Amino acid sequence: MKYSTTASGSYKRDVPAALRAVRALMRDANATEQVFIIMQSLNGPVLPVNLARLIGTEAGARQVYRRTELVERLSDPAFIASFAPDTVGAAYRAFLERTGYSAAGLAEASNPQGRALVEHPHAWLGRRIRDVHDLWHVLTGYQANEPLGEACLVGFSFAQTRGKGWAVLGAASALKGLKEMHSLVVARAILEGYRRGRAAAWLLSEDYEMLLHEPLDAARARLGIGPAPAYARAQAAVAAATQASGTASA
């Protein structure tokens, strides 16, 4: 797994490692570590591009200047407890309670080798993209504890970040959905995720410490995150197929 930077700060892709990880993930959808291998193998070159874009916005430049490590804020129990009802933060708190996930757990899963934190702006941005992943689940409404919700957020994330790893994951998920469902319903939901990401404001430049205190519905409206009817249809189709499979096996 390669995610290193030279003195000049340029990242290199590791396509063979990414392809091995895709094959492993197709065999076992719960192999979360393979997702991070794909991201770290393919998304590096887009980090300098996104950092430049971030610095080019007033709000984004402020985030770069502060260099807040979101995993630290999102792992602070007092901070998580501070959100008023119906806010983005309250929805995130409910998400953590419902799923048992945590920001620290996500960070640990992304670094199974226990490598030291890289003090470089590009690496910081990579961590920021990792740390907002579950917040994007909350904002988009895509469920994190189902493969379909993760696949749709992959499409959304590709539109937002342009990282090739997201594109590869989205394509693999769409092909797997076609194979299992004998239908394009999953692919259409993933494509809708991409289109929602294109239509939304650029979320990487958001001040998440402020965003978490916004009312959830108002934040979605401000950010241009609309409804996801194709996702709802795909959820229903997957549930029906799962029920039919269970009935047949019984």
Q: Does 156 map to a domain?
A: yes
Which of 40-54, 183-197, 223-237 bottoms out in mean pLDDT, i.e. has the lowest? 40-54
Q: What is the pLDDT of residues 133-186, one digit of tens each?
A: 999 999 999 999 999 999 999 999 999 999 999 999 999 999 999 999 999 999
pLDDT of 8 > 50? The answer is no
Mean of the pLDDT values across residues 70-97? 98
CA-wise closest residue to 48 among 161, 157, 200, 166: 161
Distance CA 129, CA 188 (A): 25
Q: Which residues pair with 215 in a beta bridge?
A: 87
Predicted local confidence at residue 9, as pLDDT:
43
Which of 17-31, 63-77, 85-99, 209-223 bottoms out in mean pLDDT, i.e. has the lowest? 17-31
Mean of the pLDDT values across residues 81-85? 98
Q: Does 145 map to a domain?
A: yes
Distance CA 92, CA 39 (A): 24
Q: Does 243 map to a domain?
A: yes
Longest Cα–Cα distance in the chain: 60
Predicted local confidence at residue 66, as pLDDT:
94
Domain region containing 96:
15-249
Q: Does 7 map to a domain?
A: no
Q: Does 10 map to a domain?
A: no
Q: Does 155 map to a domain?
A: yes
Model confidence band, residue 6 (pLDDT cutoffs 50, 70, 90): very low
Q: Does 6 map to a domain?
A: no
Domain count along the chain? 1
Share of the chain above pLDDT 90, in %: 73
Predicted local confidence at residue 215, as pLDDT:
98
Predicted local confidence at residue 33, as pLDDT:
79
Predicted local confidence at residue 31, as pLDDT:
76
- Pick 178 or 14 by higher pLDDT: 178
Q: Is there a contact between 155 and 170 (Cβ–Cβ < 8 Å)?
A: yes
Q: The pTM is what?
A: 0.90
| Residue 87, SS3 per DSSP | strand
Predicted local confidence at residue 11, as pLDDT:
60
Q: What is the pLDDT of residues 87-140, one digit of tens each?
A: 999 999 999 999 999 999 999 988 877 888 888 999 999 999 999 999 999 999
Q: What is the pLDDT of residues 20-44, one digit of tens each?
A: 988 888 888 777 778 888 888 888 8
Q: Does 39 map to a domain?
A: yes
Residues 6+ apart with CB under 8 A from 165: 18, 38, 39, 40, 41, 42, 43
